[in-house]
Structure 1
């Protein structure tokens, strides 16, 4: 019973985080596309033409995650999707630690310069671990 209550509480917190993040991105979609294009995995930025296609997909996936973690019959998929998103964010942010982003990192605030730090990576790591733990628990209890 206590675990069920904790799962519901975690579900609401994770849903609120993804909802807030995605709504912020929906308010300034072009800015978010620009931020996505600023991330590097090697020495080159992602072309803006690709980022403008990828950014809306990320927003939809975040909104979908927010809804799925709240619904009992899709909760495990929502947490798995959320953990996958966090892994992507961890990889991208780890590759860009110390870089300055003129419009922000794309997490919650837009239009304000920010530098990717270990704190950003750590926050995403904690969110990922929490979501993986919930998935494992839900798989264990069937």
Structure 2
């Protein structure tokens, strides 16, 4: 089973049974039943239960949007806390490798190492809010 449901084969105005929808999306029929319990619309109360393709696609997209976490320029997503966190002591490392940059800090709550890619142009805005230690890759120079 894939880690994420596939959207590529779903036809918008076609109706699918539970088994057809599960095979098409790449999940188990039990997952489709759980989605129905969580709000996936059925066509009507007929048997077998039918699901419209556009409703299935909309439900999967809504689930994906619900899992996204927006972080600010000087905020990180902590994998241990599973939340948006600031760096401990407002300190971070800014490592430049070629034309890429990586911001690294320690979580303020659980002290886990957090990383996120940032653009080189955002250095001045980040420097205004955080105490930065800038490292450059010697091989890239």
Normalising by structure 1, we get a TM-score of 0.28
Q: Which has the higher contact order (CA 8 A, sep 6+)?
A: 1
Which structure features the higher share of strand residues? 2
Structure (1/2) with the larger helix percentage: 1
| The structure with more radius of gyration | 2
